[in-house]
Amino acid sequence: MTAVHPEAAPRSYFDHAAATPLRPEALEAMLPFLTESFANPSGAHTESRRARVALDDARDRIAELLGAGPGDVVLTSGGTEADDLAVQGGWDGAPGGDDGPAAVVCLAMEHHAVLEACRALSRRTGADLRLVRSDPSGLVDLDALAVACTPEVRLVTVMTVNNELGTVQPIAAVARVVGERSPGAVLHTDAVQAVPWLDAAAVTGPADLVSVSAHKFGGPKGSGALVLRRGAVVRARIGGGGQERGRRSGTPNVAGAVGMAAALDATVTCRPAEASRVAALRDRLGDGLAVRIPGLVESGRRQDRVAGILHLRLDGIESESLVVLLDEAGIAVSAGAACSSGAVEPSHVLASLGLDPAASSSGVRFSLGVTTTDQDVDHALDRVPCVVERLRN
């Protein structure tokens, strides 16, 4: 007699801000360079030249879609390396980079990739690290930024979209403050979370250095880019064969670059319609949970956030426990800042808004994307209130 297995419990993925599924266009573009066209693009033979052409074509397309020239795109292993190259390499390449200690300014709510790069820079160079607060809604306090931006500031970094709250920072206004108060400073923005939802070429236009990461918009993990504008210079953080015009050595990841270009192309094409669709799903999810769960607080104003992120705080609930029980209920979400062990710490982003440790440990992020459906929202509306009630009891 054949055993009958019950259908697997449904699962709903609400963690697109951490990683997105690979787009079919990216997979199709990558496959030839994972199989037959595997040669090193730095060689001189026919196979290498074929790989080089593909790499150059991918770079050209990435540059075009991000509002830059092909020579202004440095391919990296992802957003973290792009951020480090921008902060530390951008500092070293900035005018006056060898003149001794100065100051670097960044948001207190920046992603750890930027915060840790700034801290390492401060330790290495003696630079004064100035952290700028945000207002309670998660937007940079421009008055506080103006105070931090004095003439000796050499580099300023302000993210385009916060990875936890989804708030869109006013990069044009930031650039005006930096230009007026620190006219010699280089402005960097981490645009990793912006690409799926915003015209990154336009919103990051005032920045000199822009970081992106492919796996946030349907490309492969381990591929990213740093865009340089207005003659910005970065000194290499990785020495070796002098690839990427001497700005980042190492054998280029041809398949990754090709996949990133294809994913970016598909994202830009679909973005207006997809952003509208996902925003409607996010709002239905947020409104439905607010009705069903007492003491729920939605972080920030919806008009200030990208379509795909819904960040909630729940009185009396520790986010780590909530994430674990939601996973058991078939719902994948995230909270706080995950370290390599998977443990969740109180959110430094929420703490930067002035929240106490208990409130900073009560946040959970639902991040929606191209695979999110009405059925996923229905599933969450059914299961999340039950899990919260279980925890509160």
Residue 183, Ramachandran bin (φ over 0: left; ψ between -120 and 50: alpha; else beta): alpha
Find where tokens 């690409």 sit.
195
Domain count, the chain: 2
My answer on whether 206 and 57 are in the same domain is yes
My answer on whether 28 and 152 are in the same domain is yes
Average pLDDT over residues 233-253: 90
**What's the pTM value of the predicted model, to 2 decimals?**
0.93
pLDDT of residue 323: 94
pLDDT digits (tens, 9 = 90+) for 69-106: 989 999 999 999 999 999 999 999 998 755 556 999 99
pLDDT of residue 6: 42
pLDDT digits (tens, 9 = 90+) for 172-205: 999 999 999 999 999 999 999 999 999 999 999 9
Report yes or no on 333 lying in a domain: yes
47-61 as b/e: b if 16+ CB within 10 A: eeebbbebbeebbeb
pLDDT digits (tens, 9 = 90+) for 104-138: 999 999 999 999 999 999 999 999 999 999 999 99
Report yes or no on 170 lying in a domain: yes
My answer on whether 127 and 187 are in the same domain is yes
Residues annotated catalytic, as ranges: 339
Residue length of the chain = 393
Report yes or no on 199 lying in a domain: yes
CATH code of the domain in which 78 resides: 3.40.640.10
What are φ and ψ of residue 288, in 5° steps? -65, -40
Amino acid at position 69, single letter: G
pLDDT category of residue 8 using cuts at 50, 70 and 90: low
Q: Lowest-pLDDT range, 25-34, 94-103, 166-175, 250-259?
A: 94-103
Domain ranges, residue 275: 271-392
> Rounded to the nearest 5 degrees, what angle is found at the Cα of 116, between the Cα atoms of 250 and 166?
100
Instruction: Give the mean pLDDT of the chain.
Output: 92
